[in-house]
Amino acid sequence: MSKSVSNFLLKRRSVTAKTMLASDVTNEDLDIIISSGLRVPDHGALSPWKIIVFKGKSRETFGKLFLGKRFKELNPSASKDDVIYEEKRFLRAGVVVCVVSSPVPHNKIPIWEMQLSSAAVCQNILLCAQSLGYAAQWITEWYSYDEVITQELTNNNDDRISGFIYIGKKENEPKERIRPELSKVVSYWEKF
């Protein structure tokens, strides 16, 4: 690994969807970001994932047809402002990329490994967007676990939403956050 990649990894931070600006992502950059996302370890080369992009008007339309509507169904006493907030969730970013884990039936490779590969897609998309200078965050929020939203975005029962990567523009550079000390999570196996 070149020093510049490790320096980037040691410093990179997510910018929350709440604080990013909803500037558009160029088509050229989006192609680079998604291509990086697909370049992940994938046992058996099964491509057990799907990518759904929300860009431009589709962010608002999906919010109105699904996020706001479903939120109101689940919370009948929700205020109008709360429903509008839900409708506008995707408008917090220029682009929202949904990554779906979509396992492929296989007699040797466990579904768990396919789901891990899908998480790697999310992480690669996140890292690539951040490396290009965009604000980006990987989130799930309530709608990743909602059956109606999941049905709209997936094709079969084993499909699960791995996350939504919000990509926009940084207003401010994010501050560092506390990271675990190596000694707390790392051990060297030396039982010999």
- Please report, as ranges, the residues that interact with ligand FMN according to CB under 6 A: 13-14, 16, 137-141, 163, 177
In the complex, minimum distance from the CB of residue 163 to ligand FMN, in angstroms, rounded to a whole number = 5
Kindly tell me which of 14 and 36 has the beta carbon lying closer to ligand FMN. 14
Comparing every residue's Cβ against ligand FMN, the nearest one is 14
d(CA 33, CA 89): 21
Kindly tell me which of 75 and 140 has the beta carbon lying closer to ligand FMN. 140
Query: Is residue 167 classed as helix, strand or coil in its secondary structure?
Result: strand
* CA distances from residue 181 to 78, 109, 178, 187 in whole angstroms, order as listed: 42, 34, 9, 12
d(CA 78, CA 12): 37
Kindly tell me which of 13 and 69 has the beta carbon lying closer to ligand FMN. 13
Inter-residue contact 33 to 25 (CB < 8 Å): yes
N-term to C-term CA, the chain: 31
Q: Which tokens go with 104?
A: 């492929």
Kindly tell me which of 77 and 172 has the beta carbon lying closer to ligand FMN. 172
User: Residue for token digits 């205020």?
Assistant: 79
d(CA 189, CA 94): 45
In the complex, minimum distance from the CB of residue 16 to ligand FMN, in angstroms, rounded to a whole number = 6
In the complex, minimum distance from the CB of residue 187 to ligand FMN, in angstroms, rounded to a whole number = 22
Kindly tell me which of 106 and 169 has the beta carbon lying closer to ligand FMN. 169
In the complex, minimum distance from the CB of residue 116 to ligand FMN, in angstroms, rounded to a whole number = 12
In the complex, minimum distance from the CB of residue 2 to ligand FMN, in angstroms, rounded to a whole number = 21
